[in-house]
Structure 1
Amino acid sequence: MKKGTSVLAAVALCVLAGGAGAQSYPAKPVKIMVGFAAGGPTDVIARIVAQDMTLSLGQSFVVENRPGANAIIATEAVARSAPDGYTLLFSSLSLLVNAILMEGRVHYDPFKDFAPVSNAAVLPMVVVTSPETRIASMQDLIVLAKAKPGELSYATSGNGGSTHLAGAMLENFTGTKMINVPFKGNGPALAEVMAGRVTFMFYPIVGIADQVSAKKLKVLAVGTPRPHADFPAVPTLEQSGLPGFEETAPWVGMLAPAGTPAATVNRLGEEMRKSLAKAETKERFRALGAVTVADTPAEFAAFLKKDYERWARVIQASGVKAE
Structure 2
Amino acid sequence: MNSLRLPRRNVVLAAALLAGVAAAPALGQSTFAQQKPITLVVPFAPGGGNDILARALAPRMAQLLGQTIVIENKPGAGGNIGADQVARAAPDGHTLVIASSQVTMNPFLDMKVPFRIEHDFEPVGLIASVPLLLVAHPQQPYKTLPEFLAYTRSNPGKLSYSSPGNGTPQHLAGEVFAKLAKAEMLHVPYRGTGPSISDLVAGQVQISFATYASAAPFVQSGKLRAIGVAGQKRSALMPELLTFGDAGMKNYEASLWYSLLAPAKTPKAVVDKLNTAMVSALQDPAVSRQLAQQGFETQSSTPAALKTFIASELQRWERVIKDHQIKVAP
Match of 1:293? 299
Aligned partner of 2:43 among 35, 40, 45? 35
| The one of 261, 264, 267 aligned to 1:261 | 267
Q: How many pairs align?
A: 296
Q: Is the 8 A contact 2:145 2:228 kept in 1?
A: yes
CA contact 2:49–2:211 (8 Å) conserved in 1: no
Residue 10 (structure 2) aligns with? none
Tell me the alpha carbon deviations over residues 44-68 of structure 1, each in whole angstroms, 9 at most, x when there is no partner. 3223322212211222233333344
Match of 2:197 in 1: 187
**What SS does the aligned partner of 1:319 have?**
coil
Q: Aligned partners of 1:305, 1:181: CA distance in 2, in Å?
A: 28
Q: TM-score, normalised by structure 2?
A: 0.75
Residue 229 of structure 1, CA deviation: 4.0
Which has the bigger relative contact order, CA under 8 A and spacing at least 6? 2
The offset of 1:161, in angstroms, is 2.9
- Per-residue CA shift, 1:234-273, capped at 9, x if unaligned? 1233333334655x22233210122223333222212211
Q: Tell me, which stretches of 5 or more residues in structure 1 are unaligned?
A: 1-19
Which residue, 79, 82, 87 being the options, matches 1:74? 82
TM-aligned CA distance change 1:152 to 1:258, over 3 Å: same
Please give the TM-score of this superposition, normalised by the length of structure 1: 0.76
The offset of 1:170, in angstroms, is: 1.2
Q: What are the Cα deviations for residues 212-239 of structure 1, in whole angstroms up to 9, with x where unaligned?
A: 4565544332247643344221123333
* 1:153 maps to amino acid: L
Give, as a single letter, the amino acid of the residue that structure 2 aligns with 1:253: S
With 261-270 and 163-172 compared, the bigger mean Cα shift is at: 261-270
- Residue in 1 aligned with 2:171? 164
Map Cα deviations across residues 262-312 of structure 1 (whole Å, 9 max, x no partner): 333222212211110122112222344433222222332233233333433
Q: Is the 8 A contact 2:135 2:215 kept in 1?
A: no
2:196 maps to a residue whose letter is N
Q: Are the counterparts in 1 of residues 160 and 187 from structure 2 also a CA contact under 8 Å?
A: yes
Alpha-carbon separation, structure 2, partners of 1:142 and 1:245: 13
Of the candidates 283, 288, 293, which is equivalent to residue 289 of structure 2?
283
Of residues 221, 224, 228, the one that matches 1:221 is 228
Query: Which stretch shifts more, 44-53 or 30-39?
Result: 30-39
- Counterpart residue number, 1:17: none
**Distance (Å, rounded) in 2 between the aligned partners of 1:73 and 1:131:** 34
- For residues 329 and 93 of structure 2, what CA distance do their matches in structure 1 show? 32
2:122/2:261 contact within 8 Å kept: yes
**Alignment root-mean-square deviation, CA:** 3.2
Whole-Å Cα distance in 1 between the matches of residues 184 and 284 of structure 2?
43
Look up the match of 2:18. Answer: none
Q: Secondary structure of 1:251's match?
A: strand
Identity %: 30
What's the counterpart of residue 85 of structure 1?
93
Counterpart-to-counterpart distance in 1, 2:178 and 2:250: 14
Cα distance between partner residues in 1 of 2:76 and 2:141: 40
Output the amino acid matched with 2:53: I
1:110 aligned to 2:117?
yes
CA offset digits 1:34-89 (Å, max 9, x no partner): 32344543233223322212211222233333344443333222212333323222
Aligned residue in 2 for 1:52: 60
| Structure 2 gap segments, 5+ residues each | 1-24
2:282 touches 2:288 (CA, 8 Å); kept in 1?
yes
What does the per-residue CA deviation read over 1:189-232, in whole Å, with 9 as the maximum and x for residues that have no partner?
4236xx5x865432222354465456554433224764334422
The answer to whether the aligner puts 1:251 opposite 2:257 as a matched pair is yes
